[in-house]
């Protein structure tokens, strides 16, 4: 039986995953300190970064907290909503396709 060797060139083309920005939305009830705590604990922001984002939310109605792949963005939104609800606040978080 003949021994046949073939060199097969395989090129894998991997697409970068779609990225989603997680947004916090302003409301008239959630305390600024709670928003800062969320940004530090869930989004791993420094106190200065959290303060800046909190003011963007307050002044512009919403601000980006981070940019993630879909599953992580969904998890972050769920975590924000759960913590806000557990503390009696209506803080709203959403995600949208980056770009």
29 with 92: CB under 8 angstroms? no
- Asked, for residue 55, whether it belongs to a domain, the answer is yes
- For residue 79, the domain's CATH number is 3.30.1390.10
- Asked, for residue 4, whether it belongs to a domain, the answer is no
Number of separate domains in the chain: 1
Q: Kindly indicate the confidence band of residue 2, based on its pLDDT and cuts at 50, 70 and 90.
A: low
> Which residue range(s) make up the domain with 80?
19-97
- Asked, for residue 10, whether it belongs to a domain, the answer is no
- Asked, for residue 7, whether it belongs to a domain, the answer is no
Checking phi first, is residue 84 left (phi over 0); if not, alpha (psi -120 to 50) or beta? alpha
- Asked, for residue 71, whether it belongs to a domain, the answer is yes
Quick: pLDDT tens for 19-59: 999 999 999 999 999 999 999 999 999 999 999 999 999 99
- Asked, for residue 91, whether it belongs to a domain, the answer is yes
Q: Is the pTM of this model over 0.95?
A: no
| Cα–Cα distance measured from residue 18 to residue 42, given in angstroms and rounded to the nearest whole number | 21
């Amino acid at each position: 039986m003949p021994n046949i060797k073939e060199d097969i060139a395989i090129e894998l083309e991997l697409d970068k995953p779609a990225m989603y920005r997680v947004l916090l939305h302003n409301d008239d009830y959630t305390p600024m300190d709670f928003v800062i705590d969320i940004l530090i604990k869930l989004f791993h922001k420094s106190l200065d970064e959290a303060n800046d984002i909190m003011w963007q939310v307050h002044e512009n109605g919403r601000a980006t907290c981070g940019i993630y792949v879909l599953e992580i963005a969904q998890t972050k939104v769920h975590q924000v909503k759960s913590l806000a609800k557990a503390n009696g606040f209506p803080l709203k978080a959403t995600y949208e396709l980056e770009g």
